[in-house]
Structure 1
Amino acid sequence: MRQYFTIFILGLILAFGSCRTDFDTVASTGDLKFSKDTVYLDTVFKNIGSSTYQLKVYNRSKNDISIPIVQFKKGLSSKYRMTVDGMTGTNGKIFKDVTLLAKDSLYIFIETTADITDANPTDFLYTDEIQFDSGANLQEAALVTLIQDAVFLYPNQNPDGTKEKIKIDGKDVDGFYLSESDAVNGNELIFTKQKPYVIYGYAGVPDNKTVTFEAGARVHFHANSGLYVGNNASLQINGTASKTDQLENEVIFEGDRLESLYSNIPGQWKSVIFSNGSANHSINHLTLKNAVTGLDFKNPSNTVEIKDTQIYNCVEYGILAENSHIIAENIVINYAGIASLLCVYGGDYSFTHCTFNNNWSNPSHFAVSLSNSLTGKTPETNALTNATFNNCIIFGSNFNELNLSKNTSAAFVYQFNNCLLKFGNTSNPDYQFKSDTQHYNNIILNENPKFYNVAQNKFNIDKTSAAFAKGNPAYIIPLDILGITRTSPPDLGAYQSQDFPK
Structure 2
Amino acid sequence: MRPKIILFFIGVVLSICSCRSDFETVASTGDLEFSKDTIYLDTVFTNIGSSTYRLKVYNKSKKDINIPTIKLGKGLNSKYRMTVDGMQGTNGKIFNNVVLLAKDSLYIFIETTATITDANPTDFLYTDQIQFDSGENLQNVELVTLIQDAIFLYPKRFADGTTETLPIGDEKIDGFYLDENDPINGNELQFTNDKPYVIYGYAAVPSDKTATFEAGTRVHFHANSGLIIAKNASININGTPSATEKLENEVVFEGDRLEPGFANVPGQWGTIWLTDGSTNNKVNHLTIKNATIGLLIQNNDGTTVSIKNTQIYNSSNYGILAQTAKINGENLVINNAGLASLACTYGGNYSFTHATFNNNWNSSKQVAVLVSNYISGAIPEAKALTMATFNNCIIYGSYSNEMSLTRKTGAAFEYQFNNCLIKFDNVSNQFTTNADYQFNTDSAHYNAILLNKDPKFFNTSQNKFNIDATSAAFAKGNSAYLIPLDILGNTRSLPPDLGAYQNNVFPK
TM-score by length of 2: 0.97
Q: Are 1:319 and 2:325 counterparts?
A: no
Q: Are 1:485 and 2:484 counterparts?
A: no
Identity across the alignment (%): 66
Unaligned runs of 5+ in 1: none
Cα contact 1:449–1:466 (8 A) shared by 2: yes
Q: Are 1:128 and 2:134 counterparts?
A: no
Separation (CA, whole Å) in 2 of partners of 1:191 and 1:274: 18
Q: Give the drift of 1:464.
A: 1.1
- Residue-by-residue CA offset, 1:417-473 (whole Å, 9 max, x unaligned): 111111121513211111111111111111111111111111111111111111111
Amino acid paired to 2:332:
I
- Quick one: structure 1 residues 501 and 215, their matched pair in 2 at CA, closer, same or farther if it must change by over 3 Å? closer
Give SS of 1:13's match: helix
Cα contact 2:419–2:478 (8 A) shared by 1: yes
Give SS of 1:128's match: strand
Q: Give the drift of 1:501.
A: 7.7
Question: What does residue 375 of structure 1 align with?
Answer: 376
Q: Give the drift of 1:135.
A: 1.3
Cα contact 2:65–2:100 (8 A) shared by 1: yes
Q: Are 1:455 and 2:467 counterparts?
A: no
Question: What does residue 220 of structure 2 align with?
Answer: 220
Question: What does residue 90 of structure 1 align with?
Answer: 90
Amino acid paired to 2:493:
T
Question: What does residue 361 of structure 1 align with?
Answer: 362
Separation (CA, whole Å) in 2 of partners of 1:501 and 1:188: 34
Cα contact 1:206–1:229 (8 A) shared by 2: yes
Q: Give the drift of 1:278.
A: 0.7
Separation (CA, whole Å) in 2 of partners of 1:394 and 1:378: 31
Question: What does residue 388 of structure 1 align with?
Answer: 389
- Superposed, 1:283-322 pairs within 5 Å as 283-301=283-301, 302-322=303-323
Q: Give the drift of 1:378.
A: 2.1
Q: Give the drift of 1:14.
A: 1.9
Cα contact 2:244–2:507 (8 A) shared by 1: no
Q: Give the drift of 1:377.
A: 2.5
Amino acid paired to 1:438:
A
- Residue-by-residue CA offset, 1:81-104 (whole Å, 9 max, x unaligned): 001111111111111111111111
Question: What does residue 17 of structure 1 align with?
Answer: 16
Cα contact 2:245–2:507 (8 A) shared by 1: no
Question: What does residue 59 of structure 1 align with?
Answer: 59
Amino acid paired to 2:449:
I
Amino acid paired to 2:232:
N
Question: What does residue 147 of structure 2 align with?
Answer: 147
Give SS of 1:270's match: strand
Give SS of 1:271's match: strand
- Quick one: structure 1 residues 501 and 201, their matched pair in 2 at CA, closer, same or farther if it must change by over 3 Å? closer
Q: Give the drift of 1:499.
A: 6.2
Q: Give the drift of 1:159.
A: 3.0
Separation (CA, whole Å) in 2 of partners of 1:159 and 1:133: 48
Point out the more displaced range, 421-430 or 280-289.
Answer: 421-430
Cα contact 2:328–2:351 (8 A) shared by 1: yes
Amino acid paired to 1:15:
L
Q: Give the drift of 1:10.
A: 2.2
Q: Are 1:433 and 2:433 counterparts?
A: no
Separation (CA, whole Å) in 2 of partners of 1:463 and 1:343: 31
Cα contact 1:38–1:142 (8 A) shared by 2: yes
Q: Are 1:163 and 2:169 counterparts?
A: no
Give SS of 1:99's match: strand
Cα contact 2:466–2:505 (8 A) shared by 1: no
CA RMSD in angstroms, aligned pairs only: 1.2
Cα contact 1:290–1:312 (8 A) shared by 2: yes
Separation (CA, whole Å) in 2 of partners of 1:188 and 1:41: 31
Cα contact 1:338–1:365 (8 A) shared by 2: yes
Separation (CA, whole Å) in 1 of partners of 2:8 and 2:205: 84
Give SS of 2:269's match: coil
Amino acid paired to 1:245:
E
Amino acid paired to 2:481:
Y
Separation (CA, whole Å) in 2 of partners of 1:264 and 1:171: 31
Question: What does residue 35 of structure 2 align with?
Answer: 35
Give SS of 1:203's match: strand
Cα contact 1:463–1:499 (8 A) shared by 2: no
Question: What does residue 340 of structure 2 align with?
Answer: 339
2:481 alignment partner, one of 475, 491, 501: 475
- Superposed, 1:243-282 pairs within 5 Å as 243-282=243-282
Question: What does residue 397 of structure 1 align with?
Answer: 398
Point out the more displaced range, 282-291 or 5-14.
Answer: 5-14
Give SS of 1:478's match: coil
Give SS of 1:86's match: coil
